[in-house]
Amino acid sequence: GENVEQHPSTLSVQEGDSAVIKCTYSDSASNYFPWYKQELGKRPQLIIDIRSNVGEKKDQRIAVTLNKTAKHFSLHITETQPEDSAVYFCAANSLGVTGGGNKLTFGTGTQLKVEL
């Protein structure tokens, strides 16, 4: 099955700096890569996603890049703000693949702390 690794496990940045979180996946059939933000005790919230036919996607201060050859994808947050502090999870999903079952495999999470 799919295995997703995520680094770093914790990340502290100063307000206004950029933050980068990296993930690798093992299953070449995976074709959809969402990123979720989870605040303490709350549900994971989708913040951005990318499909395998695209190399980069941006939404305001958030961007995601995908390297299919190397099987890794990254989340970039620019101009970080204190409210960006949360746990971020990457995930990989095989969509529309026979037997893939549309399952999400999550990374281990990154605790991002944005300090004033």
Binding footprint of other proteins on the chain (CB under 8 A)? 32, 34, 36, 41-46, 49, 89, 93, 95-96, 101-109
Choose between 18 and 45: whose C-beta lies nearer to other proteins: 45
Nearest to other proteins of 43, 60 (CB atom): 43
| CB 61 to other proteins: min, Å | 20
Cis check: omega of the bond before 8, within 30 degrees of 0 = yes
Longest dimension (CA), the chain: 48
Among 112, 101, 111, 88, smallest CA distance to 34 is for 88
Question: Rounded to whole angstroms, how far apart are CA atoms 52 and 43?
Answer: 26
8 A C-beta contact, residue 64 and residue 48 = yes
In whole angstroms, how close is the CB of 10 to other proteins at the nearest point? 11
- Angle subtended at Cα 61 by Cα 56 and Cα 67, rounded to the nearest 5 degrees: 20
- Cβ proximity to other proteins: between 34 and 80 the closer is 34
Minimum CB separation of residue 112 from other proteins in Å reads: 14
- Looking at the Cβ atoms of 101 and 116, the one nearer to other proteins is 101
Query: Least distance (Å) from other proteins to the CB of residue 34?
Result: 5
